[in-house]
Structure 1
Amino acid sequence: MPISMTITGQISKPDKLLTAVVVAMAVATWLGVAFWAAGLSRAAATDALRDNTRNSLALQVQTLQGVLEKYRYLPTLLAHRGDVKALFPQRGETVDQKAAQAFMVDTAGLSGAVDIGLLKTDGTILGSLDTVLTAQDASTLQSLTVTPVQGSLGRTLLRYRGRPYYAFSYGVRENNVGAVQGVVAVVVDLEGLVEAWQLALDPIFLTAPDGTLMVGNDLADASFEGRLDAPIEVSRYLPQTGWTLHVRRSDKTAQAAWWRTFGAISLASLLLAVIASTFWWRRRTQQALKRQDKAQALRLERRVRDRTRDLADANHALRAAQDDLVETAKLAALGRMSASLAHEYNQPLAAIRAYADNALKLLERDQPADATEALERIGTVTNRMSGLSKALRSFARSPGQTIRAVRLTEVVEEVRLLIDPISQKTNVTVSWPGVSSDVTVAGGTVRLSQILVNLLSNAVSAAEERVTFTIECLDETVSLTVSDDGSGVSEEDAPYVFEPFFTTRPVGEGLGLGLSIAYNIAHDFGGTLRLLDNDPGATFQLVLKRHEANAVSNSDDGVLLDA
């Protein structure tokens, strides 16, 4: 019987006014908190960007100083060399241009300088590589000599073809004392710094004391031209050169932090609003729901009770039907084996009669020792018949339903007593495995025997000459495999071999329940039963869980295990 319910409610005018006020206050609070938190987030992100920019600036300062320090001491070292002093002529002498040219070429090649110059104290060039220095005017050349004449290292910013260069100069004195004879100048290309700066992700550039751009990477040019927005800037004045090194950085990360924070707070506010609205609505409908839920619960309880009783009855009937099917399959298997078992009993009975007649005749002839031997043979034959009877009783009795520890070797021995008569009658050789007596599996003795009898009897019936039964013990499982050399199972029939009532035998020779029951029993044990690919013949593999041998039962009334 379907159950339905409808809950309706109306909101009064005072409630509407209160709701509007609450919503307005919530929106105002949300906006205030969102803008405040977003501002804090942007300020924190901006501070972090500024700190990172300062670190980048410190690194670039070290890089610039490293490049300049590389050439700083070169003119001083050259000015103290004797071969360099010899290049400056005494009064009335001329410069050895060939020696000067060789010196400048070698020094420039070894140091990486773009130009090496020898100058008089008035700025006149005695020799150079005809590049940067020769393009300078007289006043610039004069500025190269002013500081060296005073005894200090000269530093001068030069320009050549629109590119910035930097020159270090130092005075040459005879015997390192006395008046300055001339000046050695080393020129460095500042554009070499750009190669390292091009890898940076920020605009980096140098400005001259007058604020003009000296050199920078491509991003610096874009920043100067307004094509790149980089409002965060840090700089450092370099007192030795008078230059200022600048590093700029975009604030897009800070803007993104602002929007992320604003969006997160907005989303959280929306979620809280949804939760609050839901809670409010649930409170309004809770009383109505309680009344209807109570009536519904009573009806559902009555239906569940009726359905549970019906399900229990159905399960009981299903279990009884399954037990009947198992017994029917076992009786059918016993029926198929009856002719072979009758022969297995008749043969020892005839032997017992013959041994008894012989014993009587031997006693009449006063040969007690031979008579005793005949009687002992009768005992051996009866023991064999007793074992066969025990195996039949074990196979025929009703199995338990619990999972227990079972010693595998004794189950195999009982199954062998039942299968050997069938295989001998059909002239099929069964290869029996050897298995250690301490190997135990989780299952039940009767049900495991039923699986093996079913698999082996099917294999003997289908085989031409041989059936192979193997057991492989692994760490956690035991694999039992039964193979025959018969015609096998066709591809069309393979998907249905474990279906109930499926059989390829003629009508009246099988119910088609054996493999289906064996399959279900294997799964009850927590194992598997499957058909493997094999040509020729058919191969079935039963895999069971191993169990420690300290708690073993050889009946279905033994020690209970976890399935």
Structure 2
Amino acid sequence: MAPKRRWLRLAAVLPLAGALAIAAVVALVTYRVAFELSLSTTRASAGHRLDLYAASFEREVGQYANYPYVMALDGTVLALLGSPTDSARRRAADSYLEALNDRIGTLDAYLLDKTGRVIASSNWNKWDSFVGRDLSYRPYYQNAGVGRVSRFYGIGTTNLQPGYFLATAIARGNDTLGIGVVKVSLDQLERSWASAESPAILSDEHGVVVQSSVPAWKYGTLRPLDAAARRQIAEAQQYNDRALAPIGLSTLRELDDRTHIVRLPGTAGSDGSFSTEGLFLAESRAMPDTPWTLTVFTDLSEMDDLARLWAALAGLGSLLCLGLLAVWRQRRRHLGEILAARAALQQAHDHLESEVADRTAALSATNERLRREVEERERTERTLRDAQSGLVQAGKLASLGQLSAGIAHELNQPLAALVTLSGNAVRFLDRGDLDTVRGNLERVRPLVERMGHLTGELKTFARKSSGEPQRVGLRKVIDDVLFLLNHRLTRGRVAMTIDIDGGDIDLWCDANRFEQVLLNLIGNAVDAMEGGDDQRIILSARREGRFVRIDIRDNGPGLPPERLDHMFEPFFTTKAPGVGLGLGLTISAGIIRDFGGELVASNAEGGGAVFSMTIPTGGGEAT
């Protein structure tokens, strides 16, 4: 029944889907035809508008293009270039440039010597005077030549005023004497663009917008700048550390090399307002004698809206009736599904009520069973904790047994010394040599204190732990463990390196049980390296948030990779048969888990085994 219903639904949907597809195709074709017809007309008017903008730019800049040549004809300028250090000639040249700048209406006019340093300027008597400044880093100096004008746009490094720089070389024969420069303001040109209906921008060879009818776009970029372009701009100090971020222009379609359909982040209205983004036709043209590109944007929003309207009208006629039919059929089917769902819901409700009582009884029985299981689990955990404490204590006693030879050696040495010193003291006392007797007695005391410290450490280590965590200094625990292992480390010529972050770290644990872990891990490392020529153990500790990571690394043969996953299983050992029960690592891992941490084993990259543990810090109780 269900497959038949699905086929019926599919048969009902297919005609509607076909009608929608036909309507979509009709609308798309209509939109494309209407848009392309309007676009051909718009491109013609956009080209004319680009001509007008280009003419206004060339007219604005062209009127100043010959003034650098005029400077080369003045006698005071030539006289100063012939003797740059003559103060009288400099004053005469400053006055000439000041008068020239006032007459022609430029921002500044100044003269550079051959090295690129300003020797005369129209603003010589102002706070922002250029006189004495080294401008050799500017491209208009580097590119200046005789008989041609070098052009450059940038922001002044002294007064931060943007302008268009025109420069030419002043020469006498084949010898270049200096560079004449005039700085022109393009504000009037930008104001005339702002009053036009179409946005326009002037961009440099890197794509940086130097002039724009939209103020927000100025000193933005048409595309992201690469590292080489940013370095070149920075060396020329062209834009005075401006951010030069992309303005957000995105190209949607390329009509030819200089014509594109783009989406702009914003446009300026004729009343000076700033509107939202829109669809535009971008017409570009390279400006002669400059590395600049002029781009004029023609708004395509109305044309796009009109094309969309025609597309909607074309598709609406074929879609309207079929759409109404589809809505009616869908509503009818939806009402049927609602009625069926209500009937199923009522049936489910009746069935659910009949099962509630059975489920309640079953849940009550399950809760009772879970309560008994929880109690049994708690008893088992208490038994396991008691067993673990017993195993820890047994491990301590076993460790004491392993250390017995070293302990005997540590005690025998001071005892032998005490016998010798006491016998000598009697003989020297009989001779009356009291100074020697006093010296012997003074050497007896540190020997006795050493024996007492050793027996005290053994007593402390052997006592049963309370199991309660407290603040513990890591360095103190390490020193106590190394004191107990001193004989094994000395006998095996093991080099022990301690690296603790900050010198010492407080832990939150039981010190006695933690000593057992360190004693077990360091002892295992000594056993693993036994017989080696160069035996080293590195113990490092670092803070990691609320925990301390402690690594114990040896330079032994390492752990078999196939056995790493079984290292902490009870009765598993890599030692020879009869040496150890395989419970040391299991007990140590359980102790670290009780502290709220973790113990893991791995192999170091350079060889040897690494046992890493994390333990809560002593900054407060671990949560």
TM-score, normalization: structure 2? 0.45
TM-score (norm. length: structure 1): 0.50
- Higher relative CO (Cα under 8 Å, sequence separation at least 6) belongs to 1
Larger radius of gyration: 1
